[in-house]
Structure 1
Amino acid sequence: MANIQYVTKEGLDKLRAELDHLESVERPKISQQIAEARDKGDLSENAEYDAAKEAQGLLEMRISKIKDQVANSRVIDASQLDSSKVSILSSVKIKNTANGMEMKYTLVPETEADLSKGKISVNTPIAKGLLGKVVGDIAEVSLPNGMEMKFEILDIKID
């Protein structure tokens, strides 16, 4: 059974670009390395050949994995999402009720998470606690270390 993965259009485009690069640039490069190593003689004692074959195997696994991801991806249409409550692709401004610190996160599919850009996976504890909440709600988040944190939802936008 296929494992459906929800992605943004940008995320799917990025996967397709990586797949194209691996197939059109990296695969021929490794084939060339194998040919050069083969030309050096005895393959039973040729470390260069073994390394190139190993790299080829890893590359083919990566290509296969990305092909599966692309085949099982479903693009999320942001225009169909309800902006009144927190959902995937929501940009949420929250305030920690304990210390008053305000933060802004965008909830994205796991494959597109990038904390340095404020994008967190919908599978993280904080995102799970925020999902379905509306402005003014208090989200109680259970952290993996057993602590409980409370966040007030200040604003919700879908970009």
Structure 2
Amino acid sequence: LLQCSGKRDVDKYEADCAARDRASLCFRREEAQIQRLEEENEKQRQYELDQESRALDAAAREDVNRYLQSCKKRKRLSLAFRAKEKRKHAVWERKQEDAEREKRNRDTRDRAMDSKYAELAREKEKARIALDNIRHAGCNFAMNPFAAVLDDDAILGNPYWRR
């Protein structure tokens, strides 16, 4: 009996140990499962954060690329505008030079015409004076009727008989 009682105690102890081991094993398994779920949730959360971070990085890179393209476009447009302004200014300068050249040509032509007409007027005045001298000279052959034409004072309007 004692042996039977000892055997029962041993069996009971073994059963208690086995139950305790099973309970411990179940507890550890549940804890491990909870830990795995928490790790999986943490991995999922970290994956979502990484995805969001990558999306933000991609958006930032895209913003930088758009900004760079905008800067290049502005620079290109600025260069085109300055080139256009330079061409306009060159055309304007050419027109100004042409206008100045035309003005000089016109002035030169006008001066030439003025000197031509002044010379014609002097010749006409000399001819008038010569005709007046011939008409008013009388028959005096001692005096040269063309002396007034040869004298510069006659050109200025002072004929020889008024001197």
Which interval holds the TM-score relative to the shorter structure? under 0.3
Answer with 1 or 2: which has the greater Rg. 2
Question: Higher RCO, 1 or 2 (CA under 8 Å, sep at least 6)?
Answer: 1
TM-score, with length taken from structure 2: 0.23
Q: Which has the higher helix share?
A: 2
TM-score, with length taken from structure 1: 0.24
